[in-house]
Structure 1
């Protein structure tokens, strides 16, 4: 087994077993890959099973013969029925429109609000930033009746724009909180350099903060998309 000599603070050489370290790292990597494989299998098995089941006929689904993981007579009849009968395509298109509008509104509002709260220091900014996050903790069910009354007064019953108006109230607070953390972590020197070069706040936001905070923007976008797409209460 090979060894490597290092010098301690007292000038005495110390020897480390390089082989042991590499072996420990190798076993750690193997354990990490095994855990990752279990995680992937755990989350991919249900969608895979749904895909297999969708390719079976009704009779084959009802039959208990054979393995449930094998398709004996593949068919696309289920997809044809889904797309041609009923209102699935209409519902899907409505969900796409509402989700895209919600994500767009959420990101514009949250990015501007987070930039103001994180970089433009003013009296009460910290308290306001905390209040923005606390509004996200309010249960959605408590807002249902007030929002329903507001939508009714605006005459937006049975209208897609009512959901476009409502959904950002569920997504903007948390998305703003995420962006505040990313914007606050950007060094102040970038602000000073941009101001010296004659940039205004919007130019600073567009050319400096958005590119640097792109991971946070992506996380907030995914959050807004999932909340809007998976909401089953407000529609």
Structure 2
């Protein structure tokens, strides 16, 4: 079996590598030591189309296959694993779920801005007392008319302190296990939603890590991604 890259993939790898050597590698150490979030690099990745990842061009994405996506992440990680972490969350845990399970309105509202770097996204799963066990989530989302009211806390969230939008996992029925879990798109400026940065990590310091707090945060019911369970 031949595991060599095709000519097209080799060309893509060469293009990514040149971009990384020019835009990412310089200053990577300084960004890490100073906990400097690479916002400008993300915007440049958006301009080149790389930040569109596997998302369909219909929604502003690059329509990459998974081999191309793997090459993108690998080449960025060679120079700056903090940036790799930031991008992989944006693409795999925010944009991809929205594309698969989001309504048409949600897709068109968020995906083009996430793909361009205009928006940063985070994935709100991990909690102080539940870790990443989705069935043990303590953050709740209780239905109230045309809204869900979110209460709870998320911890160790990549991009959490910089995100314009969060894809949040919550329980619609406390103690209901996986059958009552739901995901919601929550804008940063939604009343009752706040964040805090986590500083002093041992590594990946240029990748923002934060906490998310929800205090009677009212989210429109149509911002649910997918369905309950």
**Which TM-score applies when normalising by structure 2?**
0.29
Higher relative helix content: 1
Larger Rg: 1
Higher relative strand content: 2
**Which TM-score applies when normalising by structure 1?**
0.28
